[in-house]
Amino acid sequence: MNPPPVTAAPLDAGRQGHYAGGVTRLVAFAADVGASWGIFTLALAGLSFAINLVTGNQVNLGSRQVLALSGLVIWEFIYFAYQWSLAGKTIGMAVLGIRVVSKDGDAITPRQAVIRTITLPLSFLFFGLGFLGILLNRDRHAWHDRLAGTVVVYSWDARAARLRWLAKQEPTTPV
Partner 1 sequence: MADRAVSPLPGASRMEQLVESIAERVVNLVLDAIDINAIVGQVDMDALLAKVDIDAIVSKVDVDSLIDRVDVQKIIDRVDVDEIVNRVDVDQIVARVDVEAIIERVDVQSIIERVDIEQVIQRVDIDKLVEQTELGTIIAHSTSGVASEVLDVVRAQGVGLDDFVARWVNRILRRSSEDWSPGPPKLVNPPVPVPALPLEASA
Find the Cα–Cα–Cα–Cα dihedral 7, 11, 13, 17, rounded to 10°. Answer: 100
Contacts with partner 1, 35-74, as mask; x by CB under 8 A? ----------------------------------------
Q: Is 154 in the site for partner 1 (CB under 8 A)?
A: yes
Q: Is 9 in the site for partner 1 (CB under 8 A)?
A: yes
Three-class secondary structure of residue 20 per DSSP: coil
Q: Is 156 in the site for partner 1 (CB under 8 A)?
A: yes
Three-class secondary structure of residue 27 per DSSP: helix
Question: In angstroms, rounded to a whole number, what is the distance separating the alpha carbons of residues 53 and 56?
Answer: 5
Beta-carbon count within 10 A of 103 CB: 15
Q: Is 96 in the site for partner 1 (CB under 8 A)?
A: yes
Among 6, 53, 54, 66, binds partner 1 (CB under 8 A): 6
Smallest distance from the beta carbon of 100 to partner 1, in angstroms?
11
